[in-house]
Amino acid sequence: LLRCRGLRKEFAGQVVLDRLDLTVDEHRVVALIGASGSGKSTLLRCVNLLEEVDDGTIELDGEDISDPRVDADRVRRRIGMVFQAYNLFPHLSVLDNITLAPRRVHRRARAEAEAQARDLLDRVGLGAKAHAFPDGLSGGQQQRVAIVRALANSPRLMLLDEVTSALDPELVGEVLTMIRDLKADGMTMVLATHEMGFAREVADEVCFLDAGRVVESGPPEQVLGEPTQARTRQFLRRII
């Protein structure tokens, strides 16, 4: 579904992605781990065309989306992205937050978009919050609404960047449950996380990034349990 080849990205002469390769098959969940500054967010932002790569190619469904002639909005309609925090528009209700893109970008009728949004909200237990505003929701509820909003575009691929790290510990669980359910539904996901326990549980594959390169990747038991690379062992020792 997603194939990144030889990605290179520099910020002011600093190499942030260094000939990075990543392949994600359909229905698979890939967790990106690595120290702060290793390039996880930059990689996700490049895939969603929020950053331009300096070299390399990104293929989504066989189409080279890193080609500068590609219509970025059209690509982003097929990708759902959720960030660490500040995801929702504060001046819009939950329902309007979710239906904004389907109505504007996909040109769906309001009634149809709202019916779909309500269905998604019901499924995550937030049906009663359709008319609430973001500041009337807990952090965990806001983050679940942000995920619902990304799902409302029926994406082929979800990119999740540290979606639980701004949450109080007691709110993390409800967001993780939602991601687990998405996986059970067969959603293809790439998620950056500092939570090794979650990576181990939900990911089919873990990629350890160091200085913009994939140093080691494989099943979670292997990368987290029996890493072959010294850099991976060093990283895991430091965070445990």
Q: What are phi and psi of 187, to 5 degrees?
A: -70, 135
* C-alpha closest to that of 31 among 188, 184, 191, 157: 191
| Residue 13 binds ligand ATP, judged by CB under 6 A | no
| Residue 38 binds Mg ion, judged by CB under 5 A | no
DSSP-assigned states of every residue in 16-48: EEEEEEEEE-TT-EEEEE-STTSSHHHHHHHHT
Q: Please, which of residues 189-208 interact with ligand ATP by CB under 6 A?
A: 192
Shortest spacing between CB 41 and ligand ATP, in angstroms: 3
Candidate list 38, 41, 87, 188; residue touching Mg ion; CB under 5 A: 41
| Residue 36 binds ligand ATP, judged by CB under 6 A | yes
Tell me which of Mg ion, ligand ATP, none is bound by residue 102, counting a contact when its beta carbon lies within the kind-specific cut-off of 5 to 8 angstroms. Answer: none
What's the 3-state SS for 94-108?
A: HHHHHHHHHHHCCCC
Look at residue 161 and give its three-state secondary structure. Answer: strand
| Residue 4 binds ligand ATP, judged by CB under 6 A | no
| Residue 99 binds ligand ATP, judged by CB under 6 A | no
DSSP state at residue 150: H
Sign (positive or negative) of CA dihedral 62, 65, 69, 71: positive
| Count of residues that bind Mg ion according to CB under 5 A | 2
87 is written with which tokens? 């995801």
Shortest spacing between CB 162 and ligand ATP, in angstroms: 6
Q: Which region among 38-46, 52-60, 68-76, 98-106 touches ligand ATP (by CB under 6 A)? A: 38-46
The site for Mg ion (CB under 5 A) is made up of 40-41
The site for ligand ATP (CB under 6 A) is made up of 11, 16, 34, 36-42, 192
